[in-house]
Structure 1
Amino acid sequence: MSINFTLLLLLLSTMEASLLRLKVAVLLLFLIHCVQAQQVLLNSTVERSALLDLRSSLGLRSRDWPLKAEPCKFWKGVQCENGHVIGINISGFKRTRIGRLNPRFSVDSLANLTQLRSFNASGFSLPGSIPDWFGFRFPALQVLDLRSCSVSGSIPGSLGNLSSVNLVYLSGNSLAGRLPATLGQLKELSVLDLSRNLLTGSIPNISSLGKLTRLDLSSNYLSEQIPISLGSLSGIQFLDLSDNSLTGFIPDELRNLDKLVELDLSKNLLSGSLPTKLRALMSLEKLFVDRNGLVGHLSGDMFSGLDQLQVVDLSGNKFDGALPVALLSMHSLQLLDLADNNFTGVFPSLSSDGNSSNGVFNFSNNMLYGNLNFSLVKFSSIDLSSNYFQGSAASFSRRNVTLDRNCFQDVANQRSPGDCRLFYTKRGLSFDDFGVPGLTQPPLSKQAKSSKRWIFILVGLLGGLVFIVILVTLLVLVLRRCDQGTANQRGTANVGPVPEGDSPLPPKDPNIVSGVGDSFTYEQLLRASGSFSAANLIKHGHSGDLFKGTLEGGTTVVVKKVSLHSFKKESYIMELDLFSKVLHARLVPLLGQCLEHETDKLLVYKYMVCGDLASSLYRITGLEDDSLKSLDWITRLKIAIGAAEGLSYLHHECNPPLVHRDVQASSILLDDKFEVRLGSLSEVRAQEGDSHQNVITRLLRKQ
């Protein structure tokens, strides 16, 4: 009995200890819950008021930010810590009906959220410019995401004061002007994405951004050379400068970017050769330099050691010589595009054990020739079109192989026998003549080639001399017969003969054309354009700066300011002379001019509401999702027909014919109904006494 009583006491004591531990655990959970409850409550009345103002100015819906609920706990996208707002994410939000009627970049109340670390509004329409105070009020800001927000204006230099910022996304907007040099002060910056904007000028020195891993400046209007200072970005992994107007050589200093995984320099105006020193980029997986003006051979050393390469696009350049065997035989290669170059020679035999044979290869539009002595079945896809391959191709006729425009036997859509025969004969190569027996021509010996070359040279010289003598004789006879007629036609007017070149001289007296359209005073146009302020600047044109202006009657116009310090006098005189002679519905209407100022000459045009074609191909609609919508194909066809009508008028209906030398998307202007008006008419040139074809031929030679 005593033993049972002892056991009972032990059991009771154990239960009391367990109960005590349970009470302690519950107390700790309660304390943690109280602390967390304090953390999710917004303690600052200033910040609470700022959030309410932001909710109103942006037109946010109650379902996202309910008016009477606790912001830190119930407002979607609001993040708090220690009673302060540290993050705001309105990406994907929809505005109220009133907010959609007047969307704007109205975020002034954000200035009171001084502990903000992240602001994400990607995809949320914020028309307007980034305020200058943005770079001064957020010392703790780490993430700024304004992708596809319809932001315009320039990038404020004050952003260089965001000393803690790590990620900056401003892509897919209408930001214009030059890149501020203060971006080089963002020492903590890891990602900078400014792609798909309207930025101009050169790339500033950002060599001090040692933590930068991604730099995307693609699809802008950046010019000048690639700065060698980019070679100092030792930590960068992704560098995209594509689709700009960069010129000059690819700097050797890029070889220092040993962590680079992707390099995209495509669609620029780069020249010179592909630097062999880029073989130091051991981590490189993707290389794009297509659609430039690069030249020269691609040596085997160029790609030795680049074992990580998966995608290489060198198309649309002027590379020549033999195909680089080292590049073709890479094991990890998945896509190789060498199309539209001047590569020549026989196609190298590829080893069957390389993994690269499973990739997509494009060798079209080159000058490759000879027989294919290996199987093409192993390739996932290979394009050999528009070369000079010969022989039988019966075993190559598969879906994964494109053989058009070659010299193959028994294959449809090949080159003509004359074209193939001429190609092989010029190079002294043996041609099978599409399998016709007895016509195979052996290669010519060096001595035979040399003797035939001298014969051709002598015949050419003699023939040229005879042709020149006959031509001079005919010209003398024609000039003598026409001398009296031309003398009677010269007259005494202030008109000289048309000089050599691509256009006649402009009128000698500007008053001849100053009467085109209405005459404005300089003060009128100064007021209309806001004293030619940067806010009203549309773009820097080839022959003058374009400003948006509003006349006293409320009419919106475009004012072209031609400064004689920067442009020749003939640029505006030629344009006025053109409008005094031609008139067509497809040309941008000239409303008037102002020539009274000594150095600034002003031309006034009708304002095209839809801008130019370049900025209208993708536009924001009034739909609820505020998404980017492409122009429908009916509108595209309408624009194409309108542009063709304008060019047809200049080319065929004007006498003398006029040639528009700046036809591009930015010179095709659109009114509110997407009717076409051709702009950049300062580039229109003509030559009296010349045929239209001769003018085009001379212009092409100059280019």
Structure 2
Amino acid sequence: MQALAILDLSENELVGPIPPILGNLTFTGKLYLHGNMLTGPIPPELGNMSKLSYLQLNDNHLEGNIPNEFGKLEHLFELNLANNHLDGTIPHNISSCTALNQFNVHGNQLSGSIPLSFRSLESLTYLNLSANNFKGIIPVELGHIINLDTLDLSSNNFSGIVPASVGFLEHLLTLNLSHNHLDGPLPAEFGNLRSIQILDLSFNNLSGIIPPEIGQLQNLMSLIMNNNDLHGKIPDQLTNCFSLTSLNLSYNNLSGVIPSMKNFSRFSADSFLGNSLLCGDWLGSICCPYVPKSREIFSRVAVVCLTLGIMILLAMVIVAFYRSSQSKRLRKGSSRTGQGMLNGPPKLVILHMDMAIHTLDDIMRCTENLNEKYIIGYGASSTVYKCVLKNSRPIAIKRLYNQQAHNLREFETELETVGSIRHRNLVTLHGYALTPYGNLLFYDYMANGSLWDLLHGPLKVKLDWETRLRIAVGAAEGLAYLHHDCNPRIVHRDIKSSNILLDETFEAHLSDFGTAKCISTTRTHASTYVLGTIGYIDPEYARTSRLNEKSDVYSFGIVLLELLTGKKAVDNESNLHQLILSKADSNTVMEAVDPEVSITCIDLAHVKKTFQLALLCTKKNPSERPTMHEVARVLVSLLPSPLSKILAPPAKKFDYAHFVIEKGQQRKVEEQKPQQDNILPNAQWFVRFGDVISKST
């Protein structure tokens, strides 16, 4: 028993105390006792389990202190003690667990302050101290845990100001400081939280204004600041948070006009209640200008100001009239000049002849100047419209929010590079326009929307196994083309189910590779920074801040898991990849299969191999992941006949075992080549599904 690698007794309705004898399992790496009815203290003997990396004691009735002996667990990766009755303080020597990645003590009765020694936990990505009795200030030292993606200190008794150092956590996805006693102004450094998606500061005593810098947070989806003492106006910059879908600023002392531009139209009056000085359509109140009662309204100063105002207004009208007439004249002539500034005349560039008969006026007329009734989707950086051209062909128009005015020439170079890329599984860029409405990109219209819509949307449909597999094959072949056959080779950097679009026959087409970073350094082109999407991002990104082909492979593996399970990559606090890994550890991964797959798949061995492939794609070490060419070959081999005969080379039947042997031989050849900086360790390839399950972490 001492050599036992994993002990999983979770969710078995076990009662009584945890036996101290478990401390003798010095070779056990994972101990799962969560979801039982265990009582009593946590045995300090567990600190003797020197190989322990995962310890989950959450959701029991344990009491007493967190043992100091846990500080000896130098390999500990995850410590989950949530939802028990533990009290006392957090031992300071927890900081000795330098490999600790996740620390969760939510829902206990712990007290004291946050240990300053936490700053040494450089590997920590998840810290949840919520729903306890912690007090004191939020230490500045938390800003030194630079890899944090989740920080939840909600429902405690923390006081004082929010330290500006929190703004240094550039990988932070969720910050929850709600239900405390925090006061003072919000730091402008929050504008540096470039990855943040959820920001909850509600039910505190925060004062001051809402920092305009928050408007820089392009990934922000939820901003909750209700029940504070914030004042001043709602910054117009918040309308630049195009991903924002949840907003609550109610019960503060905000004043002025509620912004009505861009995405703010999606919020209801509930978002702004309890601010008596706010006005606007949302609250059913008209914002009346202030009229002074003094009879000296027409004083000399007022007359001068009024005269200046009229002169400025007249000048603006003249300039607007001139620019309008100039624009109309130039629009009729050639629009392929090399300069094309955003403040100048509109510029239409056609990249493929199938749009050559159309002018920008035609396109604007067909969409009534991009009327909102033609909108078919929103993104973090764009709005998408459907346009039916005069030849009855539908196209998708993507209007970018950021006009790239500072780098326009390089931006056009990148678009022309992308427009030259043609593949049956890539969405074709047919042209673009630089207009006062914003930069417009013209793509193929996809009748069946995105894979995300089909799997998770409000109108989701039932997809049989063969259709899912065909979608995976198409997406894999499109991505393989970008990585290996395209010139210049391209890293997508944002592979996700919403970027896999489906035409009327459910053929998959990769979209949004236009803002990817080209690998080639021999050709000048523009590259637009793309962070990726939570749930799909390669864990290596947190360490290196770089995304490459193997990052795309990781993201594609997550998409495969979505296709297999029908679940979202991230759903509330549930992470699909972690769910599959936990089921893989207990050899119950097939329980996660979407029922529609189980019903329609003739050979479940193909489903198992697809799980195997997904786990290989999401290996922690990038060098152990396959290439997209290899991924596509495996998926094509799983297609049922005769479809596989059509898509695969006719004389080559795919041999999965041979694939593994071939991969090993390929690695040996690579080892004999001269060493370069980018050579990676050998990848381990597993033939048996059980091997992948046991080694996938």
Higher RCO by CA contacts (8 Å cutoff, separation 6 or greater)? 2
TM-score (norm 2): 0.41
